[in-house]
Amino acid sequence: MNDMSSTDRALAESAYEATEDELLISLGAALAGSQARDEDPQNLSARAEAWFRRNHERLRSTVCGHPALADLTDSFLDVAALADILSAHLNRPTAFTVAAIILKRGVNTWCA
């Protein structure tokens, strides 16, 4: 990950440092688009959780069993590594947010 762009590094560090609640609100806001400014943070979080439920199997099939998972520890670099895996299906900012949520929930638990 030495060739990580400064933008990706900033996204990974920000996602790694955020709480799961903050990440869910951020994901909900991304999903709501321009309507996000009018929504309550609790609604944004619920929107993100609903999205996670709807996309769980697709995300699991992309993430779980990937060889890179064996090397994950607990750092912003892990967020970036997981975001790289997810970026085939998600835009970059969303991939970093989703990666951080999965890591905070525990990859092994989430993949079980």
Cβ atoms 93, 26 nearer than 8 A: no
Which tokens hold the place of 31? Answer: 């999903």
The whole-number pLDDT of residue 1 equals: 52
> Which runs of consecutive H residues, i.e. helices, occur in the chain?
6-17, 20-32, 41-63, 76-86, 92-105, 107-111
Query: Of all residues in the chain, what percent carry a pLDDT higher than 90?
Result: 70
The whole-number pLDDT of residue 45 equals: 96
Give pLDDT tens digits for 20-42.
Answer: 999 999 999 999 888 878 889 99
pTM for this entry: 0.91
Residues 18, 89: Cα–Cα separation, whole Å = 22
